[in-house]
């Protein structure tokens, strides 16, 4: 939860997450999410997406941002995990 001293990043949110992508859900994989999250995602997409955004677009944008931000950390963690030997 944001406190009153932390500035909102509205423009960043719009430019990063509320934009259509070229991704087509039919070309992806099925993922099950909590009903509460699905309701929130549906509301965000419907109310803020201007009819041009899908849940798949929004999730694609979130995951792209996450992997851009934490890719190095995830790689470092991966490198510390024992890999199965074949």
pLDDT at residue 10, rounded to an integer: 93
Q: pLDDT tens digit string along 8-46? A: 999 999 999 999 999 999 999 999 999 999 999 999 999
pTM check: above 0.85? no
DSSP H stretches of helix in 1-86: 10-17, 35-48, 55-80
User: Residue 22 CA to chain centroid, in angstroms?
Assistant: 15
Q: Which of 15, 20, 2 is nearest to 56 (CA)?
A: 20
- Contact criterion met (CB below 8 Å) for 58 and 45: yes
Residue 75's SS3 state is: helix
Domain ranges in the chain are 10-80
- DSSP label at 51? T
Q: pLDDT tens digit string along 42-73? A: 999 999 999 999 999 999 999 999 999 999 99
């Amino acid at each position: 939860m944001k406190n009153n001293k932390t500035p909102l990043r509205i423009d960043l949110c719009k430019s990063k997450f509320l934009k259509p992508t070229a991704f087509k859900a039919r070309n992806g994989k099925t993922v099950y999410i909590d009903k509460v999250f699905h309701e929130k995602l549906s509301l965000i997409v419907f109310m803020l997406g201007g009819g041009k955004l899908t849940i798949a677009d929004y999730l694609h944008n979130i995951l792209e941002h996450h992997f851009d931000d934490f890719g190095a950390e995830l790689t470092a963690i991966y490198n510390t995990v024992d890999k199965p030997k074949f």
